Structure 1
């Protein structure tokens, strides 16, 4: 130990001697190195393989930082260690660039996209008259998590993530570690909910039993794998604060963070492949309109991009655990993580916004069928596919005259009657036109012969009911024109038809 201190004193003296002939920047850098740093340099120089004053060799050495780090952690405070890093950067002319602007733009874009996606989804449900279900509410919760995620990411960028380690202070590195820890947990929960939202959407739109069973099985697998992984990431260190507090990390016991990251990325790739492959066998058999095909192509296209981003994260994992310049090398992994989040929300919303797109294309109006006008009142009635009997009767009473052909079938029973030999049977009740607009429904009619009938009619009593052996009056077909305006006219024709039959 005394030998190391002696060399450190000699190194300090030689540094001051060298600074007389060195540029001002080099002299300032040498003067800023604290004694503990000089002692560590003197102790580890044989392992580095460079001369005492060979700064070029020391700067070009790839393992000098890894060799010096244990000694610096033991002999220096973190404030002194970061001062040594800044001096070393000046001596070795290390870069001072940063990704601050790019990461800030990524934070805002990936934070706004989920909000827009969920807003379009809910607006489309409302415009289309569709009810909200679990897929919508789970997506809403996932999108709500994007707001604190965006705030934490912005605070992380303000703290210094994206900059080189030697351009930061210990307090900034402490803040970066804390925000990164919070972001990791929130992002994992957000992506889990996003997967559940897409799976619930499958349950909503696909009636296939085997697909529903596969969805429930995948939900169980996702929960059983993801929740323990999130819990492990949250408490991987004892104490937990060692994940962002370098002082506590000196004596803490932690699980290998790189192994946890690899497990999470491998799971993400497998899960996303299965997630987007589940409905493919059903979709391939569908015959659909071009607009629906475009919608599905967008869904699976964004899904493929999401899988590609997950695969692209694999080579960036080493940068997350790089101790030499971690705040700078973590950029690629952080950006790919937030890009995956934004794409996931777009993918979850694409199948649900067709009604909103149609609403915008129609000039912000819902597409409805043509309305009918009723006499002088000028009221309109909006037609629909399912018309009730009451609505049809309302339209009939509102019309001032009939136009076109009207078919009526009357089936009445008497005490002792018989079936008409040629009874017109039908499953419809009426078809008529009101002021040029068709109202009612068309149904099929057929003429069915009966075996026997007896008709009794009293010629002196017009309009009275006739009786038959079977107890039922013969069915009468009434063909009316525009001159038939009331039920009295219909009754007169009925009487004339009965008289003729007798």
Structure 2
């Protein structure tokens, strides 16, 4: 189906036929020379059928019935290119403001792209420099998602915004419109590629930190659904029109032969699939956290950490309103601004959320007393981590210090042993080593938590019924 029927509506729609044509006065509200000949009769007839005088420009420009009558007439009488010219001439004559949101789109895209790049770089630095475990598949897929997002950021500025995104279609010359259609087609494919990659990265991260077999089976099943669904929608985006080049050549005159699927319906289906999968991927880790044996404050901290994933779900929901005009608009360069903008936000927010667990580890390392959990701060206080020191308490003396004394037994080993034991016992009630008499031997121990800086240690779980001693912890 040709799109001229679609676009003519908007182009002529405002054709505001104030060409006060052919009345006995002969006065015209706008110069007819600026309007394609094919549209003259349609505009004159619409003005004559209205209550506006042919010379009353204000009335003609503000009367909706004139627009509604002229639109279908011009659509059938003119080519798509002439319809654009008619719309541009009438809007200019009516002094309608020129709308342009391309600058705002550029600022949003570039700002989010820079923030995302910084967070990914910090995450990579932390994983390579401090994390004891090597880079895993989740890291590689996240980096792949970021690498594929970089061209999208460039195309947002030099492809979409530079060729009309955020501007009314009738203000754009025809070759520029064709170029816009090509870039928009590519950006659709990139969007359908980014989301599955992001979800694969997050699912691989969950597989690394949740060891329970039942949970792993659920995660692998979710992975399969994500890959199959993502592949299907990606193929649909690539083959939305047959032949593929019909996606942009349908604007040409005369129109090329071809057909397209209902792209708007595909967009809604993908959005629903994506939101449901996001919610499911939020529920799975929360069900595992519920089983952790830890203080409720620590558990709340873990929930909040995984809860950042709700941001991308919220963005996906907010993006729904932009789909009302997706591939279903008479003014695509202006109306598609919203879907392009929200898609850009969604991809960047998704990458940022995937970086959060590792960035938390970096912040804990740099600012342990600010961002560390109660458990990590407790260990810092107890073992003097990060260069701290501890007073020599009786507890520390008993655990880490061996105290010996010759005692009153002289050369008698047994007597000496008893005396040494007594001296050590006395030390338990002493406030420091200075009160001890005899020979003192001290041994210092450095306690290291090799998993402290790895995201996989954020949640350490044991299956139900485990008799292992100790408690689950969050670091």
| TM-score under structure 2 length normalisation | 0.67
Question: How far, CA to CA, are the matches of 1:283 and 1:148 in structure 2?
Answer: 37
Question: How far, CA to CA, are the matches of 2:21 and 2:331 in structure 1?
Answer: 26
Q: Does 1:55 align with 2:60?
A: yes
| TM-score under structure 1 length normalisation | 0.64
1:165-192 deviations in Å (ceiling 9; x for gaps): 2221112221221111111111111111
Structure 2, unmatched stretches of 5+, are: 1-16, 370-378, 386-400, 406-438, 448-475
1:272-299 deviations in Å (ceiling 9; x for gaps): 1111111111112224475774354043
- Cα deviation for residue 313 of structure 1 reads 2.1
Q: Does 1:261 align with 2:267?
A: yes
The 1:18/1:86 distance shift into structure 2, 3 A limit, reads farther
> Out of 213, 216, 239, which is 1:212 matched to?
216
Q: Counterpart of 1:184 in 2: which secondary structure? A: helix
- Cα deviation for residue 356 of structure 1 reads 1.4
Q: Counterpart of 1:323 in 2: which secondary structure? A: coil
Q: Does 1:162 align with 2:166?
A: yes
Q: Is the 8 A contact 1:110 1:341 kept in 2?
A: no
Question: How far, CA to CA, are the matches of 1:69 and 1:281 in structure 2?
Answer: 60
Structure 1 stretch 281-290 or stretch 13-22: which is displaced more? Answer: 13-22
Q: Is the 8 A contact 1:103 1:335 kept in 2?
A: yes
Question: How far, CA to CA, are the matches of 1:121 and 1:240 in structure 2?
Answer: 39
Question: How far, CA to CA, are the matches of 1:189 and 1:297 in structure 2?
Answer: 28
The 1:291/1:63 distance shift into structure 2, 3 A limit, reads farther
Q: Could you tell me which residue of structure 2 aligns to residue 309 of structure 1?
A: 315
Q: Could you tell me which residue of structure 1 aligns to residue 409 of structure 2?
A: none
Q: Could you tell me which residue of structure 1 aligns to residue 132 of structure 2?
A: 129
Q: Could you tell me which residue of structure 1 aligns to residue 190 of structure 2?
A: 186
> Out of 115, 118, 123, which is 2:117 matched to?
115
Q: Could you tell me which residue of structure 2 aligns to residue 150 of structure 1?
A: 153
Q: Could you tell me which residue of structure 2 aligns to residue 356 of structure 1?
A: 362
Q: Could you tell me which residue of structure 2 aligns to residue 35 of structure 1?
A: 37
- Cα deviation for residue 259 of structure 1 reads 1.0
- Cα deviation for residue 211 of structure 1 reads 1.1
1:127-167 deviations in Å (ceiling 9; x for gaps): 23221100000000000111100011112111120112222
The 1:19/1:213 distance shift into structure 2, 3 A limit, reads farther
Question: How far, CA to CA, are the matches of 1:221 and 1:359 in structure 2?
Answer: 37
Q: Could you tell me which residue of structure 2 aligns to residue 379 of structure 1?
A: none
Question: How far, CA to CA, are the matches of 1:437 and 1:299 in structure 2?
Answer: 42
Cα root mean square deviation, aligned: 3.7
Q: Is the 8 A contact 1:194 1:345 kept in 2?
A: yes
> Out of 289, 301, 326, which is 1:294 matched to?
301
Question: How far, CA to CA, are the matches of 2:265 and 2:353 in structure 1?
Answer: 29
- Cα deviation for residue 329 of structure 1 reads 1.5
Q: Is the 8 A contact 2:403 2:441 kept in 1?
A: no
Structure showing greater radius of gyration is 1
Counterpart mapping for 1:3-82 below 5 A: 15=21, 26-28=29-31, 30-39=32-41, 41=43, 45=46, 53=54, 55-56=60-61, 59=64, 63=68, 67-68=72-73, 70-71=75-76, 75-76=78-79, 78=81, 80-82=82-84
- Cα deviation for residue 438 of structure 1 reads 3.1
Question: How far, CA to CA, are the matches of 1:142 and 1:440 in structure 2?
Answer: 40
Question: How far, CA to CA, are the matches of 1:128 and 1:223 in structure 2?
Answer: 29
> Out of 224, 229, 247, which is 1:225 matched to?
229
Question: How far, CA to CA, are the matches of 1:61 and 1:298 in structure 2?
Answer: 57
Q: Is the 8 A contact 1:295 1:351 kept in 2?
A: no
Question: How far, CA to CA, are the matches of 1:106 and 1:38 in structure 2?
Answer: 42
Q: Does 1:277 align with 2:270?
A: no
Question: How far, CA to CA, are the matches of 2:149 and 2:260 in structure 1?
Answer: 28
> Out of 247, 252, 263, which is 2:252 matched to?
247
Q: Is the 8 A contact 1:128 1:356 kept in 2?
A: no
Question: How far, CA to CA, are the matches of 1:243 and 1:90 in structure 2?
Answer: 30
1:402-460 deviations in Å (ceiling 9; x for gaps): 97449xxxxxxxxxxxxxxxxxxxxxxxxxx997433699xxxxxxxxxxxxxxxxxxx
Number of equivalent positions: 364
Question: How far, CA to CA, are the matches of 2:25 and 2:364 in structure 1?
Answer: 74
Question: How far, CA to CA, are the matches of 2:290 and 2:365 in structure 1?
Answer: 28
Question: How far, CA to CA, are the matches of 1:153 and 1:86 in structure 2?
Answer: 25
Q: Counterpart of 2:204 in 1: which secondary structure? A: helix
- Cα deviation for residue 305 of structure 1 reads 2.2
Question: How far, CA to CA, are the matches of 1:154 and 1:221 in structure 2?
Answer: 33
Question: How far, CA to CA, are the matches of 2:36 and 2:67 in structure 1?
Answer: 22
Whose relative contact order is higher, 1 or 2, with alpha carbons under 8 Å and at least 6 apart? 2
Structure 1, unmatched stretches of 5+, are: 1-10, 372-401, 407-432, 442-502
TM superposition outliers: structure 1 runs of 4+ over 6 Å: 11-14, 16-20, 48-52, 367-371
Question: How far, CA to CA, are the matches of 1:354 and 1:273 in structure 2?
Answer: 23
Q: Counterpart of 2:444 in 1: which secondary structure? A: strand
The 1:56/1:12 distance shift into structure 2, 3 A limit, reads closer
Question: How far, CA to CA, are the matches of 1:283 and 1:12 in structure 2?
Answer: 67
Q: Is the 8 A contact 2:20 2:30 kept in 1?
A: no
Q: Is the 8 A contact 2:38 2:74 kept in 1?
A: no
Question: How far, CA to CA, are the matches of 2:317 and 2:225 in structure 1?
Answer: 21
Q: Does 1:343 align with 2:349?
A: yes
Question: How far, CA to CA, are the matches of 1:255 and 1:153 in structure 2?
Answer: 25
Q: Is the 8 A contact 1:82 1:166 kept in 2?
A: yes
Question: How far, CA to CA, are the matches of 1:436 and 1:228 in structure 2?
Answer: 67
Question: How far, CA to CA, are the matches of 1:51 and 1:252 in structure 2?
Answer: 43
